Structure formats: structure tokens, C-alpha cells
Amino acid sequence: MKNFVLILDFGSQYTKLIARRVRELNIYCEIHPYNISEKKIKELNPAAIILSGGPSSVYDKDAPMIDKNVFSMNIPILGICYGLQLIAYLLGGKIGSTKKREFGFAKLNILKKSPIFKDLKEGEQVWMSHGDEVVKLPEGFSSIGATANTPNTVIENKNLKIYGVQFHPEVAHTTKGKIFLKNFLYDIARIKPDWTMESFVEKSVKELKEKIGDEKVLLGLSGGVDSAVAAVLLYKAVGKNLIPVFVDTGLLRKKEGEELISEFKKLNIKVYPVKSSKIFFQRLKGITSPEKKRKIIGKTFIDIFYKKAKDFKSIRFFAQGTTYPDVIESSSVKGPSAVIKSHHNVGGLPKKLKMELVEPLRELFKDEVREVGKILGLDEWFIKRHPFPGPGLAVRIPGEITKTNVRKLQEADFIIREEVKKAGIYDELWQAFGVLLPIKSVGVMGDKRTYENVCAVRMVVSSDGMTANWYKAPHELLQKISTRIVNEVRGINRVVYDITAKPPGTIEWE
């Protein structure tokens, strides 16, 4: 049995949060779709399984199901919300629709002592979100916890080590949810918490050494955190056989390229810069469709790489800074869903490169990536930089990309970040940036009429970029940003603040 937790995803918006909580408890876990085969589960050989919640009802025509055999594999199981209902339904219990749909806070009453309630008190605050509930327990199960409206809120089969819970222990609103999960993982499933970033670095370096040996690895530095951390990790494993190529697209933030190169210099890692803004601007000329821009930029990146790779003899591996959220979002894991933006790194390896793909951060969440970077000596300010989209400023300039527009945005964006840092809120924000709007408005400066571009300021808070809220920025900060941009950036005479959450908006404008 491997020391890891398998999370089966039934479509809950909180599945990723379950994974985050398990990792925070220093246990490695992976999310897989609910319908992976029994054979695959056996292969994965998890020490415990968590069944996520989901929007379905077990009696729906196409309700997602799992093979009943999973319950006799002798693996401890925790079902959350829909997961609980599925356990009850498949093992012979009954589900009914709740008289009063229950969304929000509730108090948990402990009906029976159980190891799952260790360190929890009577009346803990829990978060409910369901329309169905268990109305008849399957044989061998007892109800050990209830809320005022839901008698079978926590169910237990002690012998089989199968538990079900109607509330969501993974959300922050369930105050002691992490303790509940910890009890299941440490005490019931008896999993050893051995997942730390130090152990990850040690294990990865060893594996990368074995995989790569004396071969060369080409890696694309985008300027962002993920590819930089992938590079330092690979450098620790293969030293000078790592060839980090930095494609300067001309679409980066002000000073970003220089900062990257000097950071690597400090770590004695040689970077191979390729100044390529000319070709990017040429190919983007006249293009206004967001998806076309992304495709052109992606393809140009690869073309430049392909050309650069030819400078070196026989490179066998190609490394990417793909992270776990990219993997989860990729269609192979999540199943078909609408393409909102084609921005994922997964599977970006062009066939013609004829190289083998190495993705050393594939298992990690963003904060884990940052921790690895810190362990490997990257500076704190560098690791804590806000995420930046692969296509760069091109997706922050609706309409055509020109050198002048990029210059305007770089200047404005620099001011925004500088003021946000000065205000001491940089680390609180997921992102803070400017968007150069393709419209002009009339202004007056020094008694003269101006007719220039508008800059939208976007500041968002988020835990993972999947959902986000606009930041309630102090008016003084907004005023400083606005005054400075209009005074200092030639070509911008108006500043507006974006107050759209995601959903329904997205974080980037394109």
C-alpha cells in the first residue's frame, strides 16, 4: 500500500480544496475522475480513498457511480456530501431529498464517540451544502453525528473503516474541518505524514538524476515562477546539462527579463537568452482575436525553441514548469469542458522536437512550488511574484499589439505594482496589473485637450485563480495609481478600476 490518498472527483467545486487540505496535512494525494477502473485503483494502491462531493443526486439518470467492489478492497474510505450519499446508496441504504435544502452554517451534534471526532467538541460549526440526505443507513453503519436538520450527518462503519460526512470538512467555514480530516487520515487510515517539500526535493533530484543521466535537458524560462523553480530543481539534479533558454518575447513586464537573469546569475546558473521580440511583433501584427494571439504566441515560442535546440547537439529532454492545477485542468483528467481560454501548459510538447518531456513540478500546487524554490535558494521576492500569463502583456492589450502599446502598458503596470508594494498589500493579492484598453478618451492637461488611451487597473484576491474577487482597494491607493499613471505614462490619460469578480468575469481580460 502506498502512502498516498486517492481523491475521486464527482464534480464538486471543492475537490481541489480537499487535495489542498490533505497536502497541508503532509500527505501526498492525487485527484482522479470518479470513473477510473478498479484495475487502476489497484495499481495506484492508495492508503485511503476520499469520494468528493458533486452536483448530482444518486437517483439521477446519469448519476456518476463507482464500482461497489471498491468498498471491499480493504481501503479506508471517506465520502463527502455526494460521496456519503453514494456510499449509503451503493451499500443498500436510502437517499431522500431534504425537506429544507440546507446551505450554510450548522452545528454538529456528536451522537457517538468515534476516532473521527478526536479533539472535536459538541456543537462545532460545520458548512452544509446539499439537497439530498441519507434517510436509511446501510447495514453495518451507524449514525454518529447529526445537525438540527440532518440526522445522518456523519456515518460510520468501524470495521470496514468507511465513513461518510454530509458537511464539507475541506472548506474554511467548517472551523475544525482539518482536524476531522486529520483524524481520518492519521488515526483511521494510519497514514504517515511524510510529504514535505524537503522530501520532495530529495526524491525528485534522485529521480531526475536517474531519468536524465548524462543527457542534456532544454528548458524554456518564461520569466515566471514555475519555470524558474523547475530550472533550479533540474540544475540541482543535472548541473550544466541543463540548458535554460529564456525567450524574450518583448511582451514581458518592465525589468522582468533582467531580474530573471540576475537571479540565476546569483545561483551560478547560465541562462541562454534569445531576444525575439521582433518576430513576435511581426506575427502579431493586425491580430485582434484573443485566441489567435495565444495560438500565435504559443507557436512562435516553439519555433524559437526548435531553432535554438539546433544550436546544441543531441538534446534528449525538454522540461516544462507544468504544475498540478494545470494537470487537473487538462481535459485528460477533468473530462470534456468548455474551452474558455487555451492557457494550459500540459501537452505543449511539439512532436517535431522529438524530445522526451520532463515535468518535475507536475505534482505540486503553487504554494508548494514556491516552497521548493525557497529551499533551492531563489529569493523570496522572486518566488512571491504574482502569476503572469504565458502570452504575457499580449492578453492585457485588447486589440492589436504594437510596440508603443506594450511600452505604455509596461510603464503603467510598473507603477501599479510599485504602489501596491509600497502600500504593503502585494502579498495579499493574487494579482495586480494594468490592462491597456483600445479606446481613447478626451482629457485636459495643462489647459490642452488630450485624446489618449484608457488604462484599467485590476486587483484580485484568490486562493488558486479559479475563482477570484476584486480587491476592495483603499481609495488613497487608487488615487495614487491614477495620478501617477496619467502624469508619468505618455499616451494614457484616464484610469478606471475593474470591479468584476470571477465568475462571471475572468481575471485576465482576454
Residues with a catalytic annotation lie at 81, 168, 170
Cα separations in angstroms, 332 against 31, 171, 336: 12, 26, 8
Least Å distance between CB 510 and ligand XMP?
Answer: 8
Using only C-alpha atoms, what is the Rg of the chain? 26
Of 150-158, 382-390, 409-417, 476-484, the window that binds ligand XMP (rule: CB under 6 A) is 382-390
User: Rounded distance, CA 386 to CA 420, Å?
Assistant: 12
Nearer to ligand XMP, 165 or 412 (CB): 412
Least Å distance between CB 463 and ligand XMP?
Answer: 11
User: Rounded distance, CA 230 to CA 224, Å?
Assistant: 11
User: Rounded distance, CA 429 to CA 149, Å?
Assistant: 38
Instruction: Determine, following the binding rule CB under 6 A, whether residue 506 of this chain makes contact with ligand XMP.
Output: yes
Least Å distance between CB 384 and ligand XMP?
Answer: 14
Least Å distance between CB 498 and ligand XMP?
Answer: 12
Least Å distance between CB 296 and ligand XMP?
Answer: 12
Of 2, 79, 13, nearest to 41 (Cα)? 2
Instruction: Determine, following the binding rule CB under 6 A, whether residue 463 of this chain makes contact with ligand XMP.
Output: no
C-alpha cell at 110: 456528536
Least Å distance between CB 314 and ligand XMP?
Answer: 29
Of 52-60, 377-385, 406-414, 499-507, the window that binds ligand XMP (rule: CB under 6 A) is 499-507
Task: Kindly report the number of other CB atoms within 10 A of residue 377's CB atom.
Answer: 11
Between 277 and 306, how does the x/- string for binding to ligand XMP read (CB under 6 A)? -----------------x------------
Among 12, 56, 114, 431, binds ligand XMP (CB under 6 A): 431
Instruction: Determine, following the binding rule CB under 6 A, whether residue 390 of this chain makes contact with ligand XMP.
Output: yes
Least Å distance between CB 27 and ligand XMP?
Answer: 27
Phi then psi dihedrals of residue 194, to 5 deg: -115, 10
Instruction: Determine, following the binding rule CB under 6 A, whether residue 362 of this chain makes contact with ligand XMP.
Output: no
Residue at 115: amino acid letter: P
C-alpha cell at 472: 476592495
Nearer to ligand XMP, 46 or 389 (CB): 389
Nearer to ligand XMP, 79 or 390 (CB): 390
Nearer to ligand XMP, 4 or 388 (CB): 388
Of 47-55, 270-278, 353-361, 388-396, the window that binds ligand XMP (rule: CB under 6 A) is 388-396
Nearer to ligand XMP, 117 or 388 (CB): 388
Among 389, 410, 417, 437, binds ligand XMP (CB under 6 A): 389
Nearer to ligand XMP, 173 or 343 (CB): 343
User: Rounded distance, CA 68 to CA 76, Å?
Assistant: 14
Among 32, 343, 407, 440, binds ligand XMP (CB under 6 A): 343
- DSSP character string of 450-481: EEEEEEEEEEEE-SSSSSBEE----HHHHHHH
Secondary structure class of 194 (helix, strand, coil): coil
Instruction: Determine, following the binding rule CB under 6 A, whether residue 164 of this chain makes contact with ligand XMP.
Output: no
Q: At what angle do helices 225-238 and 197-212 cross, to 10 degrees?
A: 60
Instruction: Determine, following the binding rule CB under 6 A, whether residue 341 of this chain makes contact with ligand XMP.
Output: yes
Nearer to ligand XMP, 145 or 373 (CB): 373
Least Å distance between CB 431 and ligand XMP?
Answer: 6
Secondary structure class of 216 (helix, strand, coil): coil
Nearer to ligand XMP, 173 or 295 (CB): 295
User: Rounded distance, CA 373 to CA 224, Å?
Assistant: 12
Secondary structure class of 95 (helix, strand, coil): strand
Cα separations in angstroms, 430 against 155, 366, 416, 474: 38, 11, 14, 16
User: Rounded distance, CA 290 to CA 509, Å?
Assistant: 9
Nearer to ligand XMP, 26 or 330 (CB): 330
Nearer to ligand XMP, 226 or 452 (CB): 226
Let me know how long the chain is. Answer: 510
Among 11, 348, 350, 387, binds ligand XMP (CB under 6 A): 387
Of 261-269, 376-384, 389-397, 409-417, the window that binds ligand XMP (rule: CB under 6 A) is 389-397
Could you tell me if 457 and 495 are in contact, meaning their C-beta atoms sit under 8 angstroms apart? yes
Residue at 426: amino acid letter: Y
Instruction: Determine, following the binding rule CB under 6 A, whether residue 452 of this chain makes contact with ligand XMP.
Output: no
> Given the C-alpha cell 501537452, which residue does it identify?
347
CB-based burial label for 237 (10 Å; 0-12, 13-18, 19+): buried
Could you tell me if 26 and 193 are in contact, meaning their C-beta atoms sit under 8 angstroms apart? yes
Among 465, 491, 497, 498, binds ligand XMP (CB under 6 A): 465
Of 57-65, 312-320, 385-393, 408-416, the window that binds ligand XMP (rule: CB under 6 A) is 385-393
C-alpha cell at 349: 510538447
Residue at 237: amino acid letter: A
C-alpha cell at 83: 460521496
Instruction: Determine, following the binding rule CB under 6 A, whether residue 32 of this chain makes contact with ligand XMP.
Output: no
C-alpha cell at 36: 477510473
Residues lying near ligand XMP in the complex (CB under 6 A) are found at: 294, 341, 343, 387, 389-391, 431, 465, 502, 506-508
